[in-house]
Amino acid sequence: MLFKKGAFHDNELGYFTDVHNKNDKLEDKLKEMQKDVDEAKTKADKEKKNWEQIRKERDFHVTHFNRVELEKKELYEQIKMLKDKHKLFKQSIDELNKKYELTMKQKILIKLDRDAKYRQYEALKGEEKDMRLKLTKGSAAEKAKVAQQFRGEQVIEAVQGSLTPWPEDARTNPYRGKDFDEFNHEMSCSKSMPGHEKAIANIALHPTKSIVASVSDDGTWRVWNLATGERLISVEGHTDWIGGVDFHPAGSHLVTSSGDCTVKIWDFVNSCYSHVFKDHKQPVWAVKFHDTGYFVLSACMDSTLKLFDLNAQKCRQTYYGHTDSVNRISFDPYTNFFVSGSSDKTVSIWDMRTALTVQTFYGHATTVHDVAYSHRGKLVASGDSDGIVKVWDTETVKELFMVDVGNTSVNSLAFDINDSFVIAGCGNGSLQM
């Protein structure tokens, strides 16, 4: 119809079967193209996922790179600071090397001076021996003359301020090989003396006379007659509490230590101090005279101990080793050794000449409040704030035994004259033996 009307002009159109075949081919081609489109879409989705993963990795690496860059910048700044410090340290090392060389030169000079003083000491020792021989075999007038001359030499030596020679090791301990009478346990309190306005921190007995010295938190030290209970002396010698006191072995002087960081030597007769040591920078808990009378040992809150030479009137040695406050000290009788108890929970034995620890005992779990040497020098007792008392053997270097006195602190320790008992003064007001 269209062909007759002239509206259909497809000359290439064949018969109906050809059109049908052509449509089939187009449909097959369409399916193949759809399949390609699906495969391309699947591949696109996969590539999109890969792209997302790559993008995340890129972001991660960018973040990591920024962090590394920041760290690198900080490291550069630290290296620069270290270089600057290195320059400063190098300058300090150079200064220390110069000081070391100067100190070594001074050491050599001091050694030469020491050798000269030692030769002088040996000469004086020989003269002393000759004098003593004259004192034992000479006439009465000769004895008086020699005694006066000997005393004059001692005064001259102290005034000159020379260093005192170290005591000899071969000194006899009178307590060894000697037994004393047992204590009368039936005795009762014979005297009660009005003491101080505040707590009494320490006491010391005179070596030859029946008197006792006491020190207190009220900043005074007092001397009492044990027979009558009379107060002989009362001195306000410090600006803070007084914690340590001890008599000179000859009984002529007294030493005290205080919270005002000073150690004072007192002329016992004139009730005035003859010298004050200000070497400590923190409160001084305890002081002790050496048995020769030429040295005073002090224990300080700053974890150090100091040995003062009374003839030279200066600090002879400083002992470093404790890491906390040194609370109490005690000399090994008639030797050059002493023991210290510290808040660092240790008990140390020292050689006062070398300033080195001979032995350190570990075992306390809390602050060591007091230490005491036995009279024969073999044993050391120590007590802590938990109420633990330990006795150590200094010859075998081991703990002999331990006693728990109860839920209280051990504030003070002492051996009896025969070294058979250890007496502990406790924080609850009790004494335990």
Give me the residue label for tokens 């230490």: 371
Considering only 303-307, 407-411, 420-424, 428-432, which range has the smallest mean pLDDT? 428-432
Closest CA to 352 of 390, 318, 303, 391: 318
Domain C-terminal end among 160, 191, 219: 160
Indicate whether 16 belongs to any domain: no
Q: Say what the pLDDT of residue 147 is.
A: 46
Q: pLDDT by residue (tens digit) across 126-173?
A: 877 777 676 666 555 554 555 444 443 333 344 446 788 888 776 788
Asked if residue 426 has pLDDT above 50, the reply is: yes
Whether 413 has a pLDDT exceeding 50, the answer reads: yes
Residue 165 lies in a domain: no
- Other Cβ atoms less than 10 A from the Cβ of 219: the count is 20
Residue 43 pLDDT > 60, yes or no? yes
Looking at the domain assignment, is residue 118 inside a domain? yes
**Beta-carbon count within 10 A of 190 CB:** 8
Report whether pLDDT(280) > 60. yes
Q: Which of 111, 143, 160 is the last residue of a domain?
A: 160
Residue 187 lies in a domain: no
Is this structure's pTM higher than 0.75? Answer: no
Q: Residue 218: pLDDT above 90? A: no
Contacts 24+ apart (CB under 8 A), 415-419: 415/372, 415/373, 415/374, 415/375, 415/379, 415/381, 416/183, 417/175, 417/180, 417/183, 417/375, 418/179, 418/180, 418/182, 419/175, 419/374, 419/375, 419/376, 419/378, 419/379
Asked if 129 and 207 sit in the same domain, the reply is no
Over pLDDT 70: what percentage of the chain?
84
Q: Is the pLDDT of residue 361 over 90?
A: yes
Do 244 and 379 share a domain, yes or no? yes
Residues 149 and 238 in one domain: no
**DSSP E strands: which ranges in 364-428?**
368-373, 379-384, 388-393, 398-404, 410-415, 422-426
- Residue 216 belongs to domain with CATH number: 2.130.10.10
One domain for residues 119 and 268? no
Residue 153's pLDDT is 35
The pLDDT score that the predictor gives to residue 185 is: 52
**Residue 206 sits in the same domain as residue 334:** yes
Alpha-carbon dihedral angle through residues 260, 277, 316, 300, given to the nearest 10 degrees: -10
Number of domains in the chain: 2
State the pLDDT at residue 188: 44
Q: Is residue 362 part of a domain?
A: yes
280-251-238 Cα angle (round to 5):
35
Structural contact between residues 311 and 274, judged by C-beta atoms closer than 8 angstroms = no
Q: Do 244 and 136 belong together in one domain?
A: no
Both 145 and 228 in a single domain? no
295, part of any domain: yes
267 within domain boundaries: yes
Domain that holds residue 240: 200-432
Same domain, 151 and 239: no
Last residue of a domain, one of 135, 160, 185: 160
Indicate whether 206 and 156 sit together in one domain: no
- What is the rounded CA–CA span in Å between residue 412 and residue 433? 12
Structural domain includes residue 169: no
Residues 208 and 317 in one domain: yes
What's the pLDDT at 139?
57
CB 307, CB 319: distance < 8 Å: yes
pLDDT for 367-409, tens place per residue?
999 999 998 888 999 999 999 999 999 888 889 989 998 888 8
Residues 224 and 308 occupy one common structural domain: yes
Say if residue 156 is in the same domain as residue 228.
no
Let me know the angle formed at the C-alpha of 266 by 373 and 270, rounded to the nearest 5 degrees.
135
The residue type found at 180 is F
